[in-house]
Amino acid sequence: MHPNVNLIVEPDYASMSKRAAEIFAQVLRENPNGAFGFATGGTPEGMYKELISMHNNDDLDFSEITTFNLDEYHPIARDISQSYYYVMQENLFRHVGISEEQINIPDGTAPDPLEECHAYEQKLWDSGGIDMQILGIGHNGHIGFNEPSDSFAANTNYTILKESTIENNARFFSKAEEVPRHAITMGIRSIIMARSILLLCSGAAKAEILRDALQGPITPLVPASALQLHPNVIVVADKEAASLLNQDTSYKESQKNQS
Ligand code: GLP
């Protein structure tokens, strides 16, 4: 494993979620006024539950942070239960006292999505940068909604979802035809600008793509492979997801010995 990646392997989904929440909470306590990047998808749901209980039981304070979400479908209204705005409210924000003024999520109703991309990128810059970005990974290696492609999109962009992503995300809708065909997503540079990245990965079905992302070539065909360019990535994976990773630490050790 390369030295920029701090890999933590936990036995199962529950302990992965708990460990990730502890790491996040530490950064939040150190940066109570910081900017934090949130992700949707099923993977971080357990971590969000842990954060809610830390808020209720240990006074973990979210009241001064600014939040940025990676992406949003387009078109979709906020009050549709599958919109990422709605999902974040249900899974985290409304339970930890995060108010409307603290939230940034691309507008799924924007009449001009390209203008919305530009405005969102500007907001990211104006925030002074994200202290910790939470990420999941799609089965095809996407991060946010940056789908495999022949080039990396740097900035927040308007994207067409791949058929495989639509099929995968159909589990959150009543049928695949209801999944919006487009999304607005932070770009690869917008993501790796974060001062730290916390990538969560669970289950045997993600083992191959996690290996490709962390140990394969850096290529836009596997968008998550761009994380290899980031100096401070923490990966919290369960055993099944980590099963194909080469966890040889000798490279790390040899680097340490040289310094
Ligand atoms: C969606 C989101 C991604 C997420 C991915 C994986 O497509 N846009 O941010 O990482 O799904 O989802 P899951 O965690 O459910 O596997």
Average pLDDT over residues 184-209: 98
Residue 4: the pLDDT is 74
Lookup: tokens for 184: 């607005």
DSSP string computed for 213-247 = HHHS---TTSGGGGGGG-S-EEEEEEHHHHTTS--
Report the separation in Å between the CA atom of 231 and the middle of ligand 1, taken as the mean of its atom positions.
Answer: 23
Give per-residue pLDDT as tens, 216-253: 999 999 999 999 999 999 999 999 999 999 987 555 55
Residue 160: the pLDDT is 97
Residue 191: the pLDDT is 98
Q: Ligand 1, residues 13, 38, 40, 161: which to mutate, most atoms within 8 A of Cβ?
A: 40
DSSP string computed for 145-177 = TB---SS---SSEEEEPPHHHHHHHGGGSSSGG
Residue 258 has pLDDT above 70, yes or no: no
Report the separation in Å between the CA atom of 37 and the middle of ligand 1, taken as the mean of its atom positions.
Answer: 14
Lookup: tokens for 186: 């932070």
Looking at the annotation, which residues are catalytic?
A: 71, 140, 142, 147
Residue 166 has pLDDT above 70, yes or no: yes
Give per-residue pLDDT as tens, 57-114: 999 999 999 999 999 999 999 999 999 999 999 999 999 999 999 999 999 999 999 9
Indicate which residue's Cα is closest to atom 1 of ligand 1.
Answer: 41
C-beta neighbour count of 159 within 10 angstroms:
24
Indicate which residue's Cα is closest to atom 9 of ligand 1.
Answer: 144
Residue 256: the pLDDT is 57
Indicate which residue's Cα is closest to atom 6 of ligand 1.
Answer: 138
Using the structure block, give the residue that is written with the tokens 């808020």: 55
Report the separation in Å between the CA atom of 255 and the middle of ligand 1, taken as the mean of its atom positions.
Answer: 34
Report the separation in Å between the CA atom of 71 and the middle of ligand 1, taken as the mean of its atom positions.
Answer: 10
Q: Is 43 near ligand 1, meaning CB less than 6 Å away?
A: yes
C-beta neighbour count of 240 within 10 angstroms:
18
The atom of ligand 1 lying closest to the CA of 70 is 9
Q: Ligand 1, residues 17, 142, 160: which to mutate, most atoms within 8 A of Cβ?
A: 142
The atom of ligand 1 lying closest to the CA of 169 is 7
Smallest CA-to-CA distance from 191 within 56, 39, 80 is with 39
Give per-residue pLDDT as tens, 138-165: 999 999 999 999 999 999 999 999 999 9
Q: Is 70 near ligand 1, meaning CB less than 6 Å away?
A: yes
Report the separation in Å between the CA atom of 46 and the middle of ligand 1, taken as the mean of its atom positions.
Answer: 14
Q: Is 138 near ligand 1, meaning CB less than 6 Å away?
A: yes
**66-69 and 103-104: which strand pairing?**
parallel
Residue 121: the pLDDT is 98
Q: What is the DSSP letter of 9?
A: E
Q: In the chain, where are the structural domains located?
A: 5-192+205-232+251-258
Architecture of domain 5-192+205-232+251-258: 3-Layer(aba) Sandwich (3.40)
Residue 259: the pLDDT is 47
Report the separation in Å between the CA atom of 42 and the middle of ligand 1, taken as the mean of its atom positions.
Answer: 7
Measured between alpha carbons, how far is 231 from 253 in angstroms, rounded to an integer? 17
Give per-residue pLDDT as tens, 11-45: 999 999 999 999 999 999 999 999 999 999 999 99
The atom of ligand 1 lying closest to the CA of 145 is 8
Q: Is 72 near ligand 1, meaning CB less than 6 Å away?
A: no
Burial class, 79, CB count within 10 angstroms (exposed 0-12 / middle 13-18 / buried 19+): exposed
